[in-house]
Amino acid sequence: MKQKVFITTGLIIAILLVVNLLSNEFHLRFDLTQEQQYTLSDATLNILKNLEEPVTVKAYFSKNLPPQIAKTRQDFQEMLVEYSNRADGNIQYEFIDPNKNEALENEAGQNGIQPVMINVREKDQVKQQKAFLGAVISLGDKRDVIPVVQPGTAMEYTLSTSIKKISIDVKPTIGFLQGHGEPSLNEMPQLKEQLDILYNTKEVTLSDSTDIPQDVKTLVIIRPNDSIPFSQFSKLEAFLNRGGNLAVAINRVYGNLQNAFGSPVSTGLEAWLANKGVVVGDNFVVDAKCGSVTMQQQQGFFTMQTQIPFPYIPLIGKFADHPLSKGLENVMFEFVSSIKYQGDSTKKFIPLAFTSDQSNEIKAPVYFNVQQQWTQADLPMKGIVVAAAVEGKLSSNGRTKMVVIGDGDFVVNGAGQQPRRLQPDNVNLLSNSIDWLSDDTGLISLRTKGVTSRPIDELEDSTKTILKYSNFLLPILLVIGYGVLRSQQNRIKRFKRMSENYEEA
């Protein structure tokens, strides 16, 4: 009996070892992740299918890295294997370890791949080691560099956009309206950096004698502060009539924390949008899930800096299951306003971003009470729409698309020597909007396809309790259950043996 158990166990172990070796050799894997992180998307497959010349990938990756970083190398290699298999030989790649010698290290540096310093533990000591985690993608005389493949990032998006960037001959042009107090492209470096991968970006200033340039496929209007002349709206209409698309991030209210006062803003753009059926309210949306402001508080002889939650700065974490907003997790808005649809059935209104279940709309003007203690009665509303898309008959000549966001500052880094750094999803929301309006390849769905961040401190208290006790009790219950099962099996065997002995007697 024991010999049979040993043989069965040995066979199972041997089969697992063979399967593991084969999967490592032929890069076989099953994708059981929630977002199918290791399955190539249709967008990538279309890019690979349309390649007319071979693309060469030189991956400069160090070996003998810590397991969590070495996994990045393995994932990148397996992804290249799949790219190569699907591209009918038009993806060729090689892996180079720059740590081998100085010549390879210099080659990596000349190609734009610089090492990063990582901590490595050896014999109870921590030392720093140079690690290379980059790649150079080439097509003919065109090349693009991925300086660092960050662990946990949207690897497929990075690689596919790099291939598309060097494989397309003409990039679509995205125009940014100027002349009414809008921020310049230099005030939005994070957004511009993302867009420059697939688009040409330029500023567009309208006048009585100039129209929106013909090469502009999508026009972006961000935070106009001054009135827009009526004659320029006719130029927007002409742009829509020729099939152009619009992305609008509008401020309907202005909040000044220095004097604690919030006022409405009117530029004429809100009236033009209302004629399209999209009503951006002159209100402040407040939310229990929000950012904080810093206050000085006097305690005795000392002045303390205190962070106080400020519902007028909502942290939006609820998004529609739409290509534009799928994968977004948190967008921080500043004094955002609600968006409602009052149009007809010729247009399709698509809500994209919503407040939490404890929110409200406060009509401007308003005085801010930073120290106000907000109760559930102050926040009776839920799911207020703060970003939306509209597609359909927006003009007299055919169908087009538009995205409207109820805050114009959320994507602006600012001017000066120390512009603020925005969290990634603030930039992703507008980048995704422009992709949805301008790019039909489907790469939009890959930008946020990475390791999902789900901080435990943002979970409900009941969920935290369930997770805590599940982690603590589940292993114990499994051990007890296994013990009970084994005991029950042994008892049945004993009864069986006793009954056999009794029958023989």
Dump pLDDT digits (tens) for 1-24. Answer: 556 555 666 666 777 666 665 555
Residue 411 DSSP code: T
Query: Distances in Å between the alpha carbon of 142 and those of 54, 92, 134, 350, 437?
Result: 12, 15, 17, 39, 27
Q: How many domains does the chain have?
A: 4
d(CA 316, CA 60): 38
> Of 144, 167, 190, at which residue does a domain stop?
167
pLDDT tens column, 468-503: 666 767 777 777 877 777 777 777 777 776 766 655
pLDDT at residue number 2: 52
pLDDT range class, residue 453, cuts 50, 70, 90: very low
pLDDT at residue number 134: 92
pLDDT tens column, 148-183: 887 766 788 889 888 988 888 888 999 999 999 999
d(CA 165, CA 171): 8
Q: Decide if pLDDT at 58 tops 80.
A: yes
**Residue 80 forms part of a structural domain:** yes
**Rg (Cα) of the chain, in Å, rounded?**
29
pLDDT tens column, 93-120: 999 999 899 999 999 999 999 988 887 7
**Residue 456 forms part of a structural domain:** no
pLDDT range class, residue 451, cuts 50, 70, 90: very low
Q: Decide if pLDDT at 283 tops 90.
A: yes
Task: Output the domain CATH number for residue 177.
Answer: 3.40.50
d(CA 381, CA 64): 54
**Residue 504 forms part of a structural domain:** no
pLDDT tens column, 198-252: 899 999 999 888 899 999 999 999 999 999 999 999 999 999 999 999 999 999 9
252 and 225 share one domain = yes
Judged by average pLDDT, the poorest of 65-74, 275-284, 442-451, 479-488 is 442-451
pLDDT at residue number 418: 74
**Stretch 72-83: mean pLDDT, rounded?**
89
53 and 26 share one domain = no
407 and 489 share one domain = no
**Residue 377 forms part of a structural domain:** yes
**Residue 35 forms part of a structural domain:** no
> Of 149, 167, 185, at which residue does a domain stop?
167
330 and 370 share one domain = yes
142 and 106 share one domain = yes
Q: Is the pTM of this model over 0.85?
A: no
**Residue 502 forms part of a structural domain:** no
Closest CA to 326 of 435, 240, 167, 221: 435
pLDDT at residue number 447: 63
Given a contact cutoff of 8 angstroms between Cβ atoms, the answer to whether 353 and 341 are in contact is: no
Given a contact cutoff of 8 angstroms between Cβ atoms, the answer to whether 130 and 99 are in contact is: yes
376 and 227 share one domain = yes
328 and 422 share one domain = yes
140 and 274 share one domain = no
> Of 142, 167, 192, at which residue does a domain stop?
167
Average pLDDT, the chain: 85
**Residue 18 forms part of a structural domain:** yes
23 and 78 share one domain = no
23-47 CB burial, b ≥16 within 10 A, e <16: eeeeeeeeeeeeeebbebbebbbeb
Which range is most confident: 15-29, 248-262, 285-299? Answer: 248-262
pLDDT at residue number 277: 95
With H, G, I as helix, E, B as strand and everything else as coil, classify residue 370: coil
pLDDT range class, residue 43, cuts 50, 70, 90: confident
In terms of pLDDT, which residue wins out, 199 or 454? 199
pLDDT tens column, 181-194: 999 999 999 999 98
pLDDT at residue number 504: 56
With 0-12 / 13-18 / 19 or more C-beta atoms within 10 angstroms meaning exposed / middle / buried, residue 458 is: middle
pLDDT tens column, 386-412: 999 999 989 887 789 999 999 999 999
**Residue 427 forms part of a structural domain:** yes
Judged by average pLDDT, the poorest of 40-44, 110-114, 120-124 is 120-124
Amino acid code (one letter) for 251:
N
pLDDT at residue number 249: 98
| Residues counted in the chain | 505
148 and 207 share one domain = no
159 and 181 share one domain = no
Instruction: Give percent of the chain with pLDDT exceeding 90.
Output: 50
In terms of pLDDT, which residue wins out, 72 or 20? 72
273 and 419 share one domain = yes
Strands (DSSP E) contained in 300-338 are: 302-316, 318-319, 331-332
Domain encompassing residue 9? 1-30
**Stretch 450-475: mean pLDDT, rounded?**
60
